[in-house]
Amino acid sequence: MSSVLHEDPYLESWRWMSRQIRCAMVPDEPRLIAHYLAEGGYLACYTATSPWTIAVTSFRLLLDTATDIALPWQWRNACLDHAWRPLRDIETQALCGCRLKRWQSFAWQLATCELDPSICLTEPVQGFPDE
């Protein structure tokens, strides 16, 4: 028997959580982010999925979600608050020069990330009616 579990159901669950995060399907449930990161850690430890791929995918998801002005502000903040966790995992996996450069690039993106205000979807658009 192989020590690596069949990863399809776990990978599909992780991907479903990533869609929920990216689309802010449950913006009042920040524990989803922690659960997503824990599921990624499980995949990295107990399946054949690359820990590097999981860390990079998780980091990009959280940073992209945090900078999406169409999503609610509190959700974007929660994603930004958790982005350091996969970045830390990327650093531990950066065992060659090319991966170290990617980690440095990601660290710079996180360090210099500024969140613009979210679009308010309940207020009417300002401007002239014929625009």
In the chain, where the domains are located: 8-111
Check if the beta carbon of residue 90 is closer than 8 Å to that of residue 44: no
Per-residue model confidence as pLDDT tens for the chain (131 residues): 344 455 688 889 999 999 999 999 999 999 999 999 999 999 999 888 899 999 999 999 999 999 999 999 999 999 999 999 999 999 999 999 999 999 999 999 999 999 899 987 666 555 555 55
Check if the beta carbon of residue 59 is closer than 8 Å to that of residue 108: no
| Number of helical (H) and strand (E) elements in the chain, helices listed first | 6, 0
Predicted TM-score of the model (pTM):
0.85
Structure tokens at 75: 């959700």
**26/29 Cα distance (integer angstroms):** 6
